[in-house]
Structure 1
Amino acid sequence: MNAINWFEIPATDFARATRFYEQILAAPLHIDGSMGTKLAVFPYTQGEGIGGAVVEMPQARPHADGTRIYLNAGADLDAILQRVPAAGGSVVMPKTFLREDIGHIGMFSDSEGNVIGLHSPN
């Protein structure tokens, strides 16, 4: 069992936030509004892993001190961090080694002001 099965990153400007994540992750997000809420869903296979989305709704506001999530950065965390400024965000923590069995983390502030972590085993 995974401790997390879904996450949502709040946005005040949905289109801007969607472009930001598509640009830094170099992957398209799936737009879904079927539940009456704007969702830009990160790539994942339902039933296999953890899903999440950028979301715009009145109950969720971006904030730097909110819940911290760590996105899977794959093998190249530096590549994602390097794309952050051009996408409209800023690097908060550069690639930082934790331990051999954990790997590296980094953090960035997204286009909406949320601080998001990245994790990579390398």
Structure 2
Amino acid sequence: MKANMVGWFEIPVRDMGRAKKFYEKVFDISIAIHELGDFIMGWFPMSPEKPGATGSLVQHNRYTPSETHGPLIYFTCSDVSQELARVVEAGGKVLQKKTEIGGGHGFMGLMKDSEGNRIALHSNE
């Protein structure tokens, strides 16, 4: 295999405007909205020269947000505590505060986004 296995991810949303505002505030980024037929997609920023996968928020009747079902996506951060500090004000909930993973694997935290999805954060500091 020439690349990491994850190449793209999609996060289900009920309200694209609300989800866009939430993720932009928590991560201090801009999300580009694209309407593709029945799909409304909010693409996360991408830098082709940098490693790691990118993805999209997706609003469509086949996508259902969930706090307990489906895969758990980890967003890489400089320091998990910085993003977690913005979650509540952005309309989400902190599910797990910054926690050391152990074994030199860094730190993680969990949040519930504005749409009801469980999302993880990871940092080495």
TM-score between the two structures when normalised by the length of structure 1 = 0.92
- Tell me the amino acid that sits aligned with residue 67 of structure 2: A
Matched residue SS, 1:33: strand
8 Å contact from structure 2 (residues 38, 60) kept in 1:
no
Find out whether 1:39 has 2:34 as its counterpart. Answer: no
Cα displacement string for residues 42-79 of structure 1 (whole angstroms, at most 9, x for unaligned residues): 11124743111111011110011122110111x22111
The residue aligned with 1:3 is 5
Counterpart residue number, 1:90: 93
Q: Which residue of 1 aligns with 2:76?
A: 72
Q: CA deviation at 1:37?
A: 1.5
Query: Could you list the runs of 5+ residues in structure 1 that have no partner in the other structure?
Result: none
1:105 aligns with 2:118: no
> TM-score with structure 2 length normalisation?
0.90
Matched, 1:58 2:61: yes
Query: Post-superposition shift, 1:36?
Result: 4.5
What CA distance in whole angstroms lies between the structure 2 residues aligned with 1:46 and 1:59?
29
Residue identity (%): 35
Q: How many residues align?
A: 121
> Could you say what the CA RMSD is over the residues aligned between the two structures, in angstroms?
1.5
CA–CA distance in structure 2, aligned partners of residues 35 and 22 of structure 1: 24
Q: Runs of 5+ in structure 2 lacking a partner?
A: none
Aligned residues of 2:33 and 2:40 also touching (Cα < 8 A): yes
The aligned residue for residue 17 of structure 1 is 19
**Residue type of the alignment partner of 1:31:** I
